[in-house]
Structure formats: structure tokens, C-alpha cells
Structure 1
Amino acid sequence: MSRELKLGYKASNEQFPPQELLRYGVLAEQNGFDSVFVSDHLQPWRHDGGHAPFAMTWLGALGASTERITIGTSVLTPTFRYHPAIVAQAFATLGCLYPGRVVLGMGSGESMNEVPLGVEWPDGKERFARFREAVKLIRELWNGERVTFEGDFYSTDKATIYDRPEQDVPIWLASSGPAATRFAGRQGDGWITTSGKDPELYTDTLMPAIAEGAEKAGRDVGDIDMMIEVKVSFDHDRDKAMDATRFWGALGLTAEQKSGVEDPVEMQRLADDLSVEQTAKRFIVSTDPDEHVEKIKTYLDLGFNHLVFHAPGPDQATFLELYGKEILPRLRAL
């Protein structure tokens, strides 16, 4: 099956206040993007200049302010701050309001969003188990009435979601490791991962894992939407393109450097110690549109069909206009 190419915009709620971010979501539609996905954070990656508007409320406003784009989360954690039933209710409502336009993107979470609320952050095995159970419960609530569910972590007693769209909202599952990616292949309507890592992670681990998961479930991997957040900094001025990545310096930290850091002030301190070369290493930094598209094409060649672009700079309006004129047409021409 040949999946349709979709080109989206990542609305970074860690970087912009809700009203400004909403304007960028509307501009994305006006500049030819197919989708807008918003991150879901209680706390941002840095304290100074950081923001964290509530993703589900913001999506409601975005849907009301646009007409055609697909909207969703990339990604939301349905296991700690939110009981899975609340996520099921929220996205059923969004699906009623904006039928055929809503995606529920879910992941297993970041400690920085949960620990400040008193959560004792469990190990990866438990987080994955919670994640699997949450997916199961959400689907049962969307497809049944008076649902009594007894899981290892969540339970319901004759619960009903009373307002549901005619068709379930697609669930896209995020991962960056083999086990969760196989799960996405088994259970996800779509799969979400992120760019800028070792190329062998995609070729040797993730792509085989999504195919393996689909095969074990008797599914065609071609029926799964394959989404990747592509980190890009595109500007005609290379210095500006490089400097724009500084706000997102935390992405340049190693997993060991970030481990156990739940305070945006401390995360900011660690990130600000990095050079601009280090903060830019996760991004495709370009001034030439043809070179830029050639680098992005790597992800299309891997099999991703839905590219969601995360631009790090403060001037998102200019980015959206430049991308709409110089990059999106070139990608579609491929």
C-alpha cells in the first residue's frame, strides 16, 4: 500500500504562550501544511522564556480556528497526570467537534512532567506496562458501554463515554526503542518517532521493529501511518539558523546528562553550557532549499510518510512562510 505524503508543523508549547502558538497553527494551515501536532508538557525544557499551555484545551481552540488540517498530540502521556479514561473522554469530544481531523498521539512520558506532581517515577518496564494498559482501556471505553475494567494499574466501574464520534480517533504510538516500536506495530493506527539520531537506529532497529510488530499482529505495515518529527532550522542566514537552536539546547544533552533532571532551571543550566555546534547537532541546519530537501528525503526513503517539522527559532511566522514557499513544494514534487 502506498501511503499519502503528509507534511506537518510541530507547535512547540514549551516555547510559546497559547495565543501566539494558536496564531502559528493557523498560519501553518494558510501556508500549506497538512497537520499541526502539539507537544504536551506540564513543564518546559527551560525556565526562562519557557511555556507550557494545556495541550487538550489548545487543540480545541486550534480546531475551531482552522478548517482542514489534521490536529493532534505529539505526544501525550495517558498514565500519570491523566487517567486513561479522561484522555478517552477528551479525544472523543475533540473527535465529535472536528470529525476526521483529530489524532491521539501517545507516549510513555517524561519524568519532568510527572515528578513535580508527586509521582514516584517508575522504571521503564512499569512505564511500558502502564502505557499498554492505557491503550487497551481507551479503546474499550470508545467501543463499549458501562465498561468495567480491572487492570494492574487502572480500573473503571461501569464507565461510559457518552459523546463519541462516529469513527474512533486514530491512536498513534510514540517510541524510540525496539519493544515499544513493536507494540506500535501491533496496536497503533500510526507510529511516532523523532529525527536526528544515529542513522543505524532507524535502519537496523526501529524500522525492522515496526514491521515485526505489524506482522505478528497479522497487519500490513503499509496500513500504519509512519510519522517522524523532523528537527529543522532553515534560514537564508546560516548564523541565524544555527543560533535558533540554542533555545532547544536540551535536545543536545545525552540521556545520561538529562537523567533524573525534572527541574526546568537545572535543565536550562545544563543546556546553556553547550556550544551552538552541540545544540544544532539534532537539527537539519540549512540555507539552501535543495540541500535541505535532500537531507529530509533520507526519512522518506526510510518509509516515513508523515513528516512533522519542528523549527527551533523565535520567528515561527517567517519559518512557516519560507517553508510553505521553498520546502513543501519541493518535497511534494518528489
Structure 2
Amino acid sequence: MTLRFGYKASAEQFDPNELLAYSVEAEQAGFDSVFISDHLQPWRHEGGHAPAALPFLGALGARTSKIIMGTSVLTPTFRYHPGVIAQAFATLGVMFPGRVILGVGSGEALNEVPLGIPWPDGKERFARLKEAITLIRTLWSEDRVTFEGAFYQTHNATIYDRPEKQVPIYIGASGPAATRMAGRVGDGFITTSGKADTLYSDILLPALNEGAMKAGRSLSDLDLLMETKVSFDHDRTRAMEDTKYWAALALSPEEKMGVEDPIQMQRLSVALPVERAASRWIVSTDPDEHVQRIQHYLDLGFRHLVFHAPGPDQSRFLKLYGEEILPRLRKLDY
């Protein structure tokens, strides 16, 4: 599969107008894709943002001509009925054929609980996601759909405007069960960088392969997408300090457990030293060394890297990456 390099539009950090301008710049700088998270709430209250992904993707498609765009990830199981997502992404697929990806996941309490949604255990969230994907694809392929699932129902529902080719569905996962499902029913797999190597090599990729084999496929049939967290700048201090906004990503699952309020999440994250905040990021000042560290994820088998930069000056990042990093990456032989 051809290598692709994307830009993560940081919805939690910038307002929608800034985000749209940066995403347009990403296409101009030579990036292949733009992905946005669909969060109701950001990781921090002060200075945080949470623009809705669906209208943003429509605006982005209208302002660009060739980039692939999608969600990383959207939860089609609580705030949205799967039928609403089926309709929205069918519309995007008609308007921007071949350029749209629906990235889905099982969700986070931070985005659902504030709307009064009871937060179920992981087993139910997984079951809901599986059923939602089935319903979305059924609505994309059939007319007059009557669906009686454990969680969702439709009665003679039809999506009237559908693209000729279904929008690909990528499944985001950080555990083996959802990763196996991605291998079995997904068109692609989404995960994030900066965790222990054994998670990818010993748990996630074997689970993905197992799921693919059950469906008579191999990993080469899937787009393996790694949201790669990078802080590249010629100034080492600046590269380190930029990561502090996203310090919440360095919190352990135990530290974040049960946190449903951005104010509380912010309180936990600002207490972390910069060294820990930077621990989830590839922090570099030298382009060759930076590319060498990124290659590690290519060596694991990921072929679509979407770069998330933490700094406030995204135009600076896009210019540096477009001039110094992307050309080096495109010369690699994989």
C-alpha cells in the first residue's frame, strides 16, 4: 500500500475558523489527508475548543480539492443514532467522492456523560459499535431498511442520496477485541503513537491480523493508520514546551478513570512536568533524526501516518514539515 501522510486538525485546541485555515494549508503543504476528532468537550477547559466534525468536514471539502478527510474518531452510538451518521457520510461521499473516511470508535465518557447519557461498561460499548457499523452499511446498501437490533431500530428507512462507492469505515481501537473487529469488518484501523512498543507488536497488530484472517483477508487489505504525535522545531525548548497543552495525553488510564469534566482533566494535566507531558511525543530538532524515529511506525507496518503537532503556531509546523520532513518521508522505500 502507498504511504500516505496526513495532518491531524486539533479540534480541541483551535476554533473552527482557525482549524479550517490550517487544514487548507495542510493540503497546500503537501499532506495527503486531514482527520478531525469529533468531541463534545476538549481535554481542557481554559483555551479549549470542540467544533463539531460533521459541518467542519463539509466546509473542508468545499475549500480543498484532493485531500482525503475523515474523523479520528467519531462515536456513532450515543450522541448520534447510526442512521444519522449513515445519512451524513453518504452526503459527504456524494459531494466529495473518494475523499471521505468515516473513522469510528466506542467513545469516551468525557463526550457523552455531559448530555445525560448513562455510561455503560466496555462490553456494551463494543456491542453498540459493532451493531452501529452493521446498520450504517445496511443503510448504505439497501432500501426500506427495517432493522431490529439490541440497541438500534429502523422502520422502512432509506438513505436516498448515496455515493456510487460506499465510504470506507476505519475503526479506532486500543485493545484487542475492538482491534480484531477492525480486522474483520473495517476498511482501516486507527490507533495512536507514543505507547509501549509491545502494545503494537504483541497485542494490537496480531489481533488485527487475526480478525482479518477470519474474514479471509490480510493486513495488506487494510489501511493501517497511526495518529503520530510529533513536536518538531529547530528550537528544542520550544518543541518541549509546545507539548504542555496536551499533557492530559500523558495521564495514565488510572489517573483519568471516571474524569468527565474538562476542568478536572485540566487540573490533572497542568500538574505534570514538561518531561512527562512530552513523553507521548516524538520531540526533535533535527529532520533526519526525526524521520528516523517516525520510521519505527512504518517498520511496524503502518502505512498512513497522520501527524498531530501540539504547538499553537500550526502554520509554522505545516511549513517546517512540508519543507523538511515530508520530502524525506516520501523518499523512503516501503
- TM-score bracket relative to the smaller structure: over 0.9
Unmatched 5+ residue regions in structure 2? none
Alignment of 1:251-262 (within 5 A): 251-262=249-260
Distance in structure 1 (CA, Å) of the matches to 2:256 and 2:38: 19
Per the alignment, residue 263 of structure 2 pairs with: 265
Structure 2: how far apart are the matches of 1:226 and 1:128? 20
Q: What displacement does 1:263 show?
A: 0.4
Shift of residue 154, structure 1, vs aligned partner: 0.4
Which residue of structure 2 aligns with residue 120 of structure 1?
A: 118
- Identity of matched residues, %: 69
- Where do 1:196-235 residues align within 5 Å? 196-235=194-233
Q: Which residue of 1 aligns with 2:99?
A: 101
What displacement does 1:219 show?
1.2
Secondary structure class of the residue paired with 2:243: helix
Aligned counterparts, 1:4-43, within 5 A:
4-43=2-41
SS in 1 for 2:280: coil
Deviations 1:215-255 (A, max 9, x none): 01111221100000000000000000000001101001010
| Alpha-carbon distance in 2 for matches of 1:187, 1:85 | 18
| 1:303-322 matched pairs, under 5 angstroms | 303-322=301-320
Give RMSD over aligned pairs.
Answer: 0.5
- Structure 1 unmatched runs, 5+: none
1:273 corresponds to which letter in structure 2? A
Per-residue deviation at 1:194? 0.5
Map Cα deviations across residues 285-320 of structure 1 (whole Å, 9 max, x no partner).
000000000000000000000000000000000000
- Counterpart CA distance in 1 for 2:80 and 2:290 is 39
Give, as a single letter, the amino acid of the residue that structure 2 aligns with 1:216: K
Structure 2 residue aligned with 1:293? 291
Instruction: Tell me the residue number matched to 1:83.
Output: 81
CA distance in 2, matches of 1:241, 1:101: 32
Give the whole-Å Cα distance in 2 for the aligned partners of 1:138 and 1:20: 31
Return the alpha-carbon distance in structure 2 between the equivalents of residues 285 and 30 of structure 1.
24
Which amino acid in 2 is paired with 1:65?
R
In structure 2, distance between residues paired with 1:53 and 1:207: 32
What code does the residue aligned with 1:55 have? A
**Range with greater deviation from structure 2 (11-20 or 219-228):** 219-228
TM-score (norm 2): 0.99
Amino acid at match of 1:184: A
Show the counterpart of 2:49.
51
Q: Deviations over 1:33-60 (max 9, x none)?
A: 0000011100000000000011000000
Report whether the alignment pairs 1:188 with 2:221: no
Residue 69 (structure 1) aligns with: 67
- Please tell me whether residue 172 in structure 1 is matched to residue 144 in structure 2: no
The runs of 4+ residues in structure 1 deviating greater than 6 Å are none
CA distance in 1, matches of 2:219, 2:144: 33
For residues 84-106 of structure 1, the C-alpha deviation after alignment (integer angstroms, 9 at most, x for no partner) is: 00000000000000000000000
Work out the CA distance in 2 between the residues paired with 1:233 and 1:220. 33
Q: Name the structure 1 match of 2:155.
A: 157
